[in-house]
Each structure stands twice: as C-alpha cells, then as structure tokens.
A and B are shown apart, each in its own frame.
Chain A
Amino acid sequence: MASEPLIRVTGLRKTFGNHRVLDGLDLDVRAGEAVAVLGANGAGKTTLLKVLATLTRPTRGTVTIAGHDGATDPELVRREIGLVAHSSYVYEDLTAAENLMFWATLAGLRPSAAERAGALATVELERAADERVRTFSAGMKRRLSLARFVLARPRVLLLDEPFTGLDQRAKKWLEEHLASFKAGGGAIVMTTHSFGRELAVADRIAILAGGAIALDTPRGSLSADDVHRLYALHAEDAS
C-alpha cells in the first residue's frame, strides 16, 4: 500500500489583488520522492514554494505537510521543512560558522562544535568557516544556506532553483546530497529552468501553467529533448 504523501496540496488558489497566480493546483509528493516544477517566468513556481513554506497564506485550498495543515499549524510545518530560496538567508557580517550557529540556535538545535564543523565540511566550506560571509561568492552563500539543513535534518526540502550559481563540483555534491536525502525518506519539491542534468534528481516532472499543474509525469527515461517538447506543449502554449 502506498504511504500517505508528505506533501499534499489540494485546490490551491493564490491571488495578489486581482491577479490569480495559482488556481486549482493539486500536488502530492510522497516520502522518498522528488518533484521538479517547471514553468515560465511568472507561472507561480516561487509562489507555490512560499505557500508550501508557510511564508504566504493560500487564498483558497489546503496545504498539508507531514500531516500538519499549513494554515492552522504553521509552526509544526516549519519544523518539518527546509527552504532554499533565491536569497541565502545569511548575515554578511557574521562568519560561516557564526551564521550556522545562529540559525541552529534559533531553530532550537544545540549542535556541538564537531557537528557544526561537519556540516560546513559537507558543503566544502570548512576552510572558509571563520571568514565573513561578505567575502563569499553567490555559490558559497548558497552552499552555506544548504549547510543549515545538514544540521536541521528536515523531512521536506523546498528548493527554488537550487543549482543556480553553483559550480560543477557543488552541483555534483548537491545531486548526491539530494539523492541521499530522498533515500532517507525525505520529500523534495524543486523549481528549475534547466532541463538537463539538474533534473536527474527528480522522480517526477510537473509543469506549472495557467495557475495549475498542466502535466505531472514520471521522469523515467525522458531525455532533455523530451522535456523540452513537453514544456513547449504545456507551458509555452499556456503562456
């Protein structure tokens, strides 16, 4: 018997003024599954992630994460999720180690020095641990924001174009980390504009168009060309 989805979105609508960004969106993501959400600019990918992360309230519909309703129990949902957004959520005048310590403490964690060092080593920032973030490249900041979830171990990862700004080595690390996260029973929703290697981690591809999921298909053996074709058919036609 299939397990209950870790993420369940039903009839989601989100409007900003008169502009309906999401309308009647349904999405289920089970433990150990990764869904890549594709869509044109302005299709609502980031809005979807923000609703899932409880950063913005849905106008209509329900979002349930690990059995907790995002509208009524946002604090319980926040314990289960890790969000890697466009912004890195790091303080420029703190060092990498200090940033990690601050966010871990705020999340109620008490990681030991060895655990903190281990998290930084996982994202290959151990040598920059005591350097101020102000001196970091965009890719290093992104890796630092990912290090937070090495410590926090959420059950759901929400990733907004996670491969952007990463070099090849960091991309490879992220692919491996996400694969191991899935293998450990985690669920992933990631948005991307890339149809290539970045999709390798995804088990399903969902194309967002017209405010809803226009196509939700297993990635299986789809090639980049196949994804291009499907995207052109569903996303570009809709826009």
Chain B
Amino acid sequence: MVWKDLLVERRSKETLNALFFFGLLLLFVFQFALGPDRERLAGTLPGLLWLGFILSGLLALGRTFVVERENDCWEGLLLAPGDKSAIYVGKLAGNLLLMLAIEAILLVLFGFFFNLDLANVLPGLAVVIALGTVALAAVGTLFAAMTAQVRARELLFPVLLLPVEAPVLLATVKATEAVLLGETLGSVAHWLKLLAAADVVYVAVGVLTFDFVLEA
C-alpha cells in the first residue's frame, strides 16, 4: 500500500506540488500580516508553524482515498481477503511520509521567511513534530476513510478532525514554543508524554476500527 501510494504520488505529483505552493502562499500571508516585529513573531511563531502544518495536513489527509475513488478501487480494497487493518497501516505510513516531507519543506521556508536559526533547536523540534504528526496522520487517515464515500466529505473531514486533534495541537504548540525558546525537551516532558499517549491511542483506535469503517 505504501509502495503503491508513493509511486502514484511520485508520478502524479498532485499533492506534493499543490501543498508546496499552498505552504508558500501561507507564509507570504503570515509575513504580510505580522510584519518584521520580532517580539510579536516570537509569541505567534509556534502557533503559525502548526497552523501551516495542520492546514497542509488537512489538504493532504483529505486526499488519502481520492486515488481509490477512480475506477472504484475502494470496492477492490473491500473485496481483498485478509486483515483490513494492514490497509490502514499502509495508508497511515504513506500519509506520514508525505506529511513529514511537506513539514520539512515548510520548516525550511519558515526559517527563511522569518529569519530564524533553527539549526540549534532542530533535534528537539524534530521530536515534537514527529510526535504531533503521527497523531494528526493517525486520526486523519481514519476520518478520511470514514468520509471517503460521503458527498460532503470536504466539509465533513475537517469538522470531524479538528476537535479530536485539539489536545494534540495544544501540546505541540506549547512544546514547540518551549523548544524554540531554547528550553530542553525535559522541560516539556509532560507535553511530549501527552503526545506519545495520543499517538498510541489514535493509532490503536485506527487499527482496531478500520475494518468496520471500510465495511460500513
């Protein structure tokens, strides 16, 4: 599944190209809205960074099963004998790789646009981003499957996803803020534990319920 999704994306480049330009536009908007005031930037930057990640994530995750709608491949997946949770894990892994690639690009652009030196904080930031992205992708993949066959899926998907992701967003923004201020990961351990717990719970729920979602 991962191999197939990445191969399709490499050939079509639909999601990656669109998200790159979307991220770029978003940064231009942020730059114009906030201006060069560094004090104001310092307070809003973690939130803006995650706003960029989550908006890009909404677009990327919402397209998870678009390729399965063509030629009714969705039915083909349903008819495949065997454990359907493997399909979820494959889709989740593909989404994670795609989102991490987008986030890496966005992070570099953030550093460039807001004149930030991210080299020193990169290891800590990478841990926070990885933990937050797993939670985002785990729920997003499941909800993308739930809404794949619904007419108002573009509307329903973010409405379902964002409330569930609220604690994750809170934890990631707080942890990112501390890391960007030069604090150690130990000082935000409570947020990281919350993120790790959310990752475990969300992935487990996805694995356990995907079969029902697909059959529904």
Q: How far is the CA of A52 from the CA of B79 in the complex (A)?
A: 11
Contacting pair A89 B8 (CB below 8 A): no
Which A residues are CB-close (under 8 A) to B1?
106
Q: Tell me whether A108 and B79 are in contact in the complex, defined as CB-CB below 8 angstroms, given that A90-B71, A94-B8, A98-B7 are known contacts.
A: no
Chain A positions 83-125 with a Cβ under 8 Å from a chain B Cβ: 83, 85-94, 98, 102-103, 106-108
Whole-angstrom distance between the Cβ of A55 and the nearest chain B Cβ:
6
CB pair B75–A75 under 8 Å, yes or no, is: no
A81: nearest residue on chain B (CB-CB)? B79
Do B7 and A93 have beta carbons less than 8 Å apart? yes
Pair A108/B81 contact, Cβ less than 8 Å: yes
CB contact list, A52-101 vs B, under 8 A = 53-55, 74-75, 78-79, 81, 83, 85-94, 98
Interface of B is mostly: helix
B197 interface residue (CB < 8 Å to A): no
Is the pair B81, A89 in contact by a Cβ cutoff of 8 Å? no
Proximity string of chain A (30-68) to chain B, C-beta cutoff 8 Å, 1 when within and 0 when not: 000000000000000000000001110000000000000
Asked if A93 and B80 make an inter-chain contact with CB atoms under 8 angstroms apart, the answer reads no
Give chain B residues whose Cβ lies under 8 Å from the Cβ of A87: 71-72, 75
Q: What chain A residues lie within 8 Å of B72 (beta carbons)? A: 85-87, 89
Q: Which of A55, A74, A79 contacts B75 (CB 8 A)?
A: A55
In this assembly, does A234 line the interface, its C-beta being within 8 Å of a C-beta of chain B? no
Across the interface, which residues of B come within 8 angstroms of A103, CB to CB? Answer: 76, 80
Q: Determine whether B40 belongs to the interface, using a CB cutoff of 8 Å to chain A.
A: no
A-B contact count (CB 8 A): 62
Q: Which residues of B contact A83 (CB under 8 A)?
A: 79
From residue B34, how far is it (CB to closest CB) to chain A in Å?
40
Cβ of A132 within 8 Å of any chain B Cβ, yes or no, is yes
Q: How large is the interface on A (under 10, 10 to 19, 20 to 34, 35 or more residues)?
A: 20 to 34
Complex interface: chain A residues within 8 A of B82 (CB)? 75, 106-108
CA distance A83 to B80 in the complex (A): 11
Please measure, in the bound complex, the distance between the C-alpha atom of A132 and the C-alpha atom of B215, giving whole angstroms.
Answer: 30
Q: How far is the CB of A49 from chain B (nearest CB, A)?
A: 11
Contact status B81-A75, CB under 8 Å: yes
CB-contact partner of A132 in B11, B73, B76, under 8 A: B11
> B79–A93 contact, CB under 8 A?
no
Bound-complex Cα distance A54 to B71 (A): 19
For A91, the chain B residues whose CB sits under 8 A away are 4, 8, 67, 70-71, 73
Q: Separation in Å of the B76 CB from the closest CB of chain A?
A: 4
Question: A53 and B79: CB pair below 8 A?
Answer: yes
| Interface of A toward B, CB cutoff 8 Å | 53-55, 74-75, 78-79, 81, 83, 85-94, 98, 102-103, 106-108, 132, 141
A-B contact pairs, 21 of them (CB 8 A): A53-B79, A54-B79, A55-B75, A55-B78, A78-B79, A79-B81, A81-B79, A83-B79, A85-B72, A87-B72, A89-B73, A91-B8, A91-B70, A92-B71, A98-B4, A98-B7, A102-B3, A106-B77, A106-B87, A107-B82, A141-B71
